[in-house]
Amino acid sequence: MPGRTVCARLSLVALSLTGLAAPLHAQTAQTAGRWPERAVRRDIPITNTIRRAYAAGTRDSTGRPGRNYWQIRTDYTINARLDAATSRLTGRETVVLHNSSPDSLGQIQLRLDPNIFLGNTPQAATWVPSEVTDGMIITRMTINGQSVDLAGPPPAGGDGARAAQAAAAAQNAVVPNQPTILGLRATTARVNLPTKLAPGSKTTLEIEWNHKIPGGPGVGHRMTQRWADTLYQPTQWYPRVAVYDDLRGWDNELYLGPSEFYNNFGRFDVSLDVPAGWIVTGTGILQNPEAVLTPNARERMKGVLASDKNTMIVGPDEVGPGQATQRGGPIAGSQGDRLVWRFVADSVNDFAWATAKKFVWEMTRATIPGKGAIPITMVYLPDRARLFERAGPIARHALEFYSKKWFPYQFPQLTLQDGPSSGMEYPMVINSNQGAADHETGHMWWPMVVSNNETWYGWMDEGFNQYMNILSDADAAGQAPNLDVLGQSYARTSGNEAEPPMMWLANYAGPQFYGFTTYSKTPLMLSMLGGIVGDSAVQRAHREWGTAWMFKHPSPWDYMFFMSKALKQDLGWFWYYWLFTTESVDGAIVKSTSTTGGRTTVTVRQDGQMPSPVVLEVKFASGSQPIRAMRNAVMKDAQTAIVTFPVDVWFSGNRTFDAVLDFGTRPIERIKLDPGCRFPDHDPSDNVWPRKPAAAAPAPAQQGQGRRATCD
Ligand SMILES: [Zn+2]
């Protein structure tokens, strides 16, 4: 999803925190009340989940996939028919479940996301959903040919859908010991199997289903999937087999709306039956262009990969069968002439598509290092062309920039689809115009290739994406990215007891902090990491981590341990404070004293629970005295040194540290703590020595705004 603004909420928090922090910091160390001792934690908490994986050898503390790493695979063949008159999608699917786990499975967990539109299922945000529907109706299900009892135990209520399912089930031959299902009216359901699925076995599920594609007034999120009966963006639209992994077994988390998905990789072979004249785009490669596209369209496509310019494939004045598409013909069960569009995608973790009675279709290209040119497709309504004017160049820049930054784009195409769901990502598909094109394209790296569990740890895709969007925006503007200030600004939020730690299950982060924790906080964390090891080192390590986990399911522990190893530092303390707590550093220069022999002692204090290295910028007065070299200092320019003392200086629990500067007799004009503004700090005004006069300090409300932009 696009990064949603949380500025309004943050500035409120900033105000209250600044109001609270100011009197504390105004006091000197001598007059302040006694602070609690600080015991710095230096290791990463290990939960039972990851403990289990280490014991089994599926993961290990290198952060790479373990020697016994496994993941299950699901291959889908789906045939679906859209009835535009009723906005109903009717489908039949075959899923081959490869049990690559070492476990015998007595259940299969299914994800039935359209049940979130029932109106009586749990939801995490008020914007879910737009339209109340009858949810996902499953009319038939077999497992290895054995029918599943869809009636289940006698229903508590008597709703129509349930009765319809019971009636459908009654038509199936009911046999003893047949599989049963629980949760058909929830977003996740469980099939109980009379015979367990052996390790290494293949199981075939056949499911027949239908649901109404939800419309409604909402825009800008994935919950509204159609405009009237002329444009559809079906997403999370077919019954999915949940992930079974080495960490938690079956993923049975409810789908609550904001927190997104966790899906298996596999092959999709999808045939979509729509009215003739309607254009269809989606995940994968179109298998039957001769059957559905006009000769004109196919001819125009031939030049797409030859240049960066846009090519019109189906123009605004080409409408209906014979103009926008082939003419089509009758198909049993449908009215009017129809066309079936067939798409195939290998190794993807989902499939999404769109269709409209009148799409304009443009194409351009991106050039992927080591791979060559790939097509970018854009489909939009004729009167929304201005929203796609810059979409091609933005998507191209994102594909090319992120390919260089992380690893080459892994898919054969990218498609941008217009519609009410504007700001969502699926493999090879973004429901986005130019507005969110950079961000949504970024998701092709995480979670579409590096496939984290988004429901639990949304920061591992949304947060990483927010960080790289900063880099991409700067690159597109021809500037160097500025990651200063971000880390320091976290202190405006830190300390609010409503903020969940990032390792908390994002499904339950709550509406107040979901956006901050999942989207905004990660760039702040990586800003601080860059303040310790350098931004280019962070990005190099991140690239190596992503490459190690392509088409796999990394956990946060894999990320933490991999990064520490790749950065050759024991960063346990860093990951602990950023991911498992909501603490800040709150550094200050207490005093600076010149001593004999050209030495200066700078007393630094940390009032927060999170430690940080002590980084001091020392600005010298002009003069003829030589500036002596210090082992832990680098000269930024002829007059300025940056001195760094490692985080270890805090590990004994002390809250003050005497940093001894040994630069010789050249007078020091000014010392600044944390010159890059990378470490969370409620009150940066006390980071400078000599202190600025109190009267010159900005008022608390203005401090919050001033700090956001600059680091001076
Ligand atoms: Zn996103």
Instruction: Tell which wins on pLDDT, 603 or 177.
Output: 603
- Residue 711: what are its φ and ψ, rounded to 5°? -130, 75
pLDDT exceeds cutoff 80 at 21: no
Q: 46 C-alpha to center of ligand 1: Å?
A: 28
pLDDT band at residue 172, thresholds of 50, 70 and 90?
low
Quote the tokens at residue 394.
């933005």
Tell me the average pLDDT of the chain. Answer: 91
The mean pLDDT value for 681-692 works out to: 94
pLDDT at position 666, please?
A: 95
Rounded distance from Cα 476 to ligand 1 centre (Å): 19
CA–centroid distance, 71 to ligand 1, in Å, is: 24
Amino acid letter for position 7: C
| Residue 525 DSSP class | H
Residue predicted with more confidence, 703 or 66: 66
- Kindly tell me if the per-residue pLDDT of 409 is higher than 70: yes
The token pair at 699 is 């008022």
Q: What is the pLDDT of residue 285?
A: 98
* Longest Cα separation, the chain: 98
The pLDDT of residue 334: 85
> Taking 90 as the threshold, does the pLDDT of residue 699 lie above it?
no
The model's pTM: 0.91
**In angstroms, what is the span from residue 422 Cα to ligand 1's centroid?**
11
pLDDT at 18: 30
Ligand 1 center to 560 CA (angstroms): 21
The 3-state secondary structure of 290-303, one letter per residue? HHHCCHHHHHHHCC
CA dihedral 676, 677, 680, 685 (to 10 degrees): 140
- What do you get for the CA distance between the two ends of the chain, in Å? 34
Q: What is the pLDDT of residue 710?
A: 72
Distance 431 CA to ligand 1 centre (A): 11
Query: Ligand 1 centroid vs 398 CA: distance in angstroms?
Result: 14
pLDDT digits (tens, 9 = 90+) for 486-532: 999 999 999 999 999 999 999 999 889 999 999 999 999 999 999 99
Ligand 1: centre distance to CA 603 (Å): 43
Predicted confidence (pLDDT) per residue in 280-321, tens digit: 999 999 999 999 999 999 999 999 999 999 999 999 999 999
**Is residue 217 very low, low, confident or very high in pLDDT (cuts 50, 70, 90)?**
confident
Measure 649 CA to ligand 1 centroid, in angstroms.
Answer: 38
Q: Are 451 and 553 spatial neighbours (Cβ–Cβ below 8 Å)?
A: yes
- What distance in angstroms lies between residue 501's CA and the mean position of ligand 1's atoms? 19
**455 C-alpha to ligand 1 centroid (Å):** 13
Per the DSSP assignment, residues forming a β-bridge with 643 are 616, 633
Q: How far is the CA of 439 from the centre of ligand 1 (A)?
A: 6
Say if residue 123's pLDDT is above 90: no
Ligand 1: centre distance to CA 355 (Å): 23
Q: How far is the CA of 461 from the centre of ligand 1 (A)?
A: 7
Residue 362 and residue 308 in contact, taking contact as beta carbons nearer than 8 Å? no
Residues in the chain: 712
Give 444 Cα–ligand 1 centroid separation in angstroms: 10
pLDDT at 170: 53
The closest alpha carbon to 290, from 340, 221, 359, 238, belongs to 340
The pLDDT tens digits of the residues spanning 559-612 come to 999 999 999 999 999 999 999 999 999 999 999 999 888 999 999 999 999 999
Per DSSP, the residues of 129-149 read -SS-----EEEEEEETTEEPB
The pLDDT value given to residue 31: 56
pLDDT band at 177 (very low <50, low <70, confident <90, very high): confident
Bridge partners, 341 (sequence order): 272
Cα 424 to averaged position of ligand 1 atoms, centre (Å): 7
Query: Do residues 664 and 628 touch, judged by C-beta distance below 8 A?
Result: yes
The position carrying tokens 């594909």 is: 399
What number is the average pLDDT over the span 7-33?
37
- State residue 333 phi and psi, 5-degree precision: 90, -5
Distance from Cα 157 to the centre of ligand 1, integer Å = 38
Q: What pLDDT was estimated at residue 219?
A: 63
Query: Scanning the structure block, which residue is given the tokens 């405006």?
Result: 492
* Segment 77-111, tens digit of pLDDT: 999 999 999 999 999 999 999 999 999 999 999 99
Percentage of the chain exceeding pLDDT 90: 82
Q: How close is the Cα of 429 to the center of ligand 1, in Å?
A: 13
Res. 22 pLDDT band, cuts 50 70 90: very low
Of 263, 249, 253, which is closest to residue 456 (Cα–Cα)?
253
Position 695 scores a pLDDT of 53
Expressed in angstroms and rounded, the spacing between residue 499 Cα and the centre of ligand 1 is: 20
Ligand 1 centroid to Cα of residue 443, in Å, is: 6
Q: What is the pLDDT of residue 329?
A: 95
Ligand 1 centroid–CA 360 distance in Å is 26
- Asked if the model's pLDDT at residue 156 lies above 50, the reply is no
d(CA 364, ligand 1 centre) in Å: 23
Is 227 in contact with 420 (CB distance < 8 Å)? yes
> Residue 360 — very low, low, confident or very high, per pLDDT cuts 50/70/90?
very high
pLDDT at 127 over 90: no
Confidence (pLDDT) at 36: 75
Cα-atom radius of gyration of the chain, to the nearest Å?
A: 29
Residue 468: pLDDT band (50, 70, 90) is very high
